[in-house]
Amino acid sequence: MEVFACRASKDFAEKVIENLNKIAVPGECPTKLGDLEITPFSDGEFQPIYNESVRGTTLFIVQSTVPPADNLMELLLSVDAAKRASADKVIAVIPYFGWARQDRKDRPRVAIGAKLAANLLKAAGVDRVMTCDLHADQIQGFFDIPVDHVYASKVFIPFIKSMRLKNLTIAAPDVGGAKRANVYAKALSTKDEDCGVVLCHKTRARANVVAEIKAIGEVEGRNIIIVDDMIDTAGTLCKAADVLKEKGALSVRACATHGILSGSAVEKIHNSALEEVFITDTIPHPELANDPKIKIVTMTEVFAGIINKVYNYEPISPDFVF
């Protein structure tokens, strides 16, 4: 086994290596991150170079394909370089799979970006993909290679339980998140108290702009946690939190897997009714290390466990919560 990382996920990969060395049999896992150098050209082009032999290895490349598109291209070039260097298997570990919101043709003359990204990875030579909380589960079907789809509920559910909140209710920020909210609510219900579910119905004025949100369900006197797969501009999240607070919620928090946090998202969160927001480290945000409201929960231990099991051909189904 060899583990390498592209530039967008180097810190994430180093933490994965630390966890791998704790759980794997000595000698069967790398003790350090492989030496992958990205050589830039003056025009913005770049070329990945492996500074060590990868011949015959099972090679894991860690890279979130968060915008800009250079991050996806860097992963594709690194995969191509590994295959041309005679790596036996190349497994793309993509904590955040970008372009996933373009998963269908919802109006005429638009691209299906998630399918195109899947085709590009296959064409580059990827043998397997490992990712986390795809925007839609059916994106797994866009790939003609195995996909290990990890869920952040593996870390979020125990984390929420440790908070010991009374009168807990899980909220979905839109209709598409209803399934996720129900799974969280079922896992967080106890014999003494059922965890309720609230559904927020939103209408959009245009892309990334929410016109109106209505909350459906019991809100008054409840501690509410909104669960979602990503926070981009934070417009939906903050507006939903404000609506829930106005309807009598005791407190409103949020758990989202991928913190894209584009534009003024952080400022919006700080100025909203949200008490706390929890995101994972699938997208790097070193500037939020000491943020008073946005907390980062790591997914590196989960990925290390899945990588170790995939490498050793062990079943991974017990690791899936949702």
202 included as an active-site residue: yes
Rounded Cα–Cα distance for residues 140 and 132 (Å): 11
Q: Which helix (H) or strand (E) holds 231?
A: strand 223-231
243 Cα distance to chain centroid = 26
Give the residue carrying structure tokens 């399934």: 179
Look up residue 295 and give its two tokens.
């907390």
Neighbours of 56 (CB within 10 A): 10
- The answer to whether the beta carbons of residues 31 and 1 sit under 8 Å apart is no
Give the residue carrying structure tokens 């790939």: 143
Rounded Cα–Cα distance for residues 120 and 114 (Å): 10
Neighbours of 216 (CB within 10 A): 13
- Counting beta carbons within 10 angstroms of the beta carbon of residue 132, is it exposed (0 to 12), middle (13 to 18) or buried (19 or more)? buried
Backbone angles phi, psi at 60, to 5 degrees: -100, 125
Rounded Cα–Cα distance for residues 319 and 322 (Å): 9
Look up residue 96 and give its two tokens.
């955040």
Rounded Cα–Cα distance for residues 119 and 136 (Å): 17
- The answer to whether the beta carbons of residues 68 and 44 sit under 8 Å apart is no
Look up residue 236 and give its two tokens.
């939906």
Look up residue 68 and give its two tokens.
């800009």
Q: What is the DSSP letter of 232?
A: S
Q: Annotated catalytic residue: which of 10, 15, 202, 293?
A: 202
Q: Name the maximum alpha-carbon separation found in the chain.
A: 64
Backbone angles phi, psi at 263, to 5 degrees: 60, -130
Active site residues: 202
